[in-house]
Amino acid sequence: MPDPLRLTISATEAPGLFGASPYVTPWMLYQRFAHGVPIDADDDNRMDWGRRMQPLLLQAAAEDLRLDVHPNPVGADGRDSYVRRGLLGCTRDGIIICPDRGPGAVETKCVFDYRVWMERWAGGRQVPREYEIQLQQQMHVGDGVTPFGWGTLAVWVCGQMVYFEREPIPELRQALEREAEAFFARVAAKDEPDPFGLPVEMPLLSQLFPPVAESVLDLRDDPGHCRTAEDASLYKTLREQAAGAQRASETLRAKLLGIAREHEKVLLPYGVNFRRRKSGKGWALDVYIPETPQAPPAPRDSVVMAG
C-alpha cells in the first residue's frame, strides 16, 4: 500500500525508482507525489484472490517454519498499518519472530500460473528483482526505528508453499535511501522526468494529456527527433504485421503518445507525421510516411562554409 500521506516511498513503489517494477515508472511516481494523481492499477481477480489467501499463507508460514507470525495490524480507519523510517516506508503482510534473530519481515506472494513460476522465478532458483527490493526495504524500515535483521518471502505456488529467506544487503539499503532522497528533491524542484514510453504508462498518459483539437507539435526541424520519425514508421509497420508484433507496437505507441502529450498531431523529420484519435478507452495513432522521404534537418549547431 502506498503512503497515504505521500511522505515516503513505499516498498511496492521503490522498485520503480530502479526501473525494476512492471507496474510503476519514475514518471508515474512523480505524478502521484507532485500532483496527487492516482496511479494504482485496478484490481484484477488474481489480486483479489491474493488478498483473500494472505491470512492462510501467514498461518502456513507459522506452521511450516515453526515460528510466531503476526499479521500486520489494521487501524481504526480499516487500513493496514503503514510504517515510516526516513523517506522510506512499507505496509508489511506480517512480522515473523525468531528466538535467535528477533523480528523479521514476512511477505506473501501467490503464483497461480506455473509458467510464470518457471519464467520469472526460474522454478524457485531466483526471486524477481522487484520482490527482492520490496522485502529489503521492509527489513530496512523495520519497526520504524530499528531495522529488522532478516526476512522471508512465503510463496504459494499452485498449491505448494516455497520460502526464500533473506539477510540485509547494505549496498541496496544505501541505494534505496539515496534514490528516495534524489526523488523527493526532484519533486521539490518540480523537475518532471520524461515518460519511459512503456505500456504501463498508457492509462495515465491518456488521462493527463487529452488531445487539444487541431493542435500541432512541429518537430520537423529538430534533428533530435529523427529517431522519433523512425519509431513512428516502425510503429506503422508493426501495426500492419501479425499479432506477434503487438507488444513491440504497443511499446512504440506509448513512446509516441508520451512525446505528443496534449497535441493531436506531431510533425517529424523526413516528412513523417502522426495524428492520434480516440479508440475505445484509449488512443490509436495514424502515421503518415511520404513515398519520397525528405532530407533530414541539419544539426542546429552546424556551420555551412560557402566557397
pTM for the full predicted model: 0.73
Judge whether 105 and 144 are in contact, CB under 8 Å: no
Q: How is the chain split into domains, by residue range?
A: 14-188, 199-288
Going residue by residue through the chain (307 aa), what tens digit of pLDDT does each one get? Answer: 899 999 999 999 999 999 899 889 999 999 999 999 988 776 678 888 888 999 999 999 999 999 999 998 876 666 789 999 999 999 999 999 999 999 999 999 999 999 999 999 999 999 999 999 999 999 999 999 999 999 999 999 999 999 999 999 999 999 999 999 999 999 999 999 888 777 787 778 877 777 888 888 899 999 888 888 988 888 888 777 755 567 788 889 889 999 999 999 999 998 999 999 988 878 889 999 988 777 777 766 544 444 3
Check residue 307 and give its pLDDT: 38
Check residue 300 and give its pLDDT: 62
CATH fold for domain 14-188: Lambda Exonuclease; Chain A (3.90.320)
Check residue 14 and give its pLDDT: 96
Judge whether 261 and 210 are in contact, CB under 8 Å: no
Closest among 168, 167, 171, 197 to 259, alpha carbons compared: 197
Check residue 182 and give its pLDDT: 96
Closest among 108, 15, 103 to 61, alpha carbons compared: 108
Check residue 133 and give its pLDDT: 96
CA dihedral 210, 213, 219, 221 (to 10 degrees): -170
Q: Which three cell numbers stand for residue 125?
A: 532458483
Check residue 242 and give its pLDDT: 59
Check residue 86 and give its pLDDT: 96
Check residue 200 and give its pLDDT: 81
Q: Which three cell numbers stand for residue 90?
A: 512499507
Residues 6+ away with beta carbon under 8 Å from 24: 13, 15, 16, 39, 200
Check residue 100 and give its pLDDT: 93
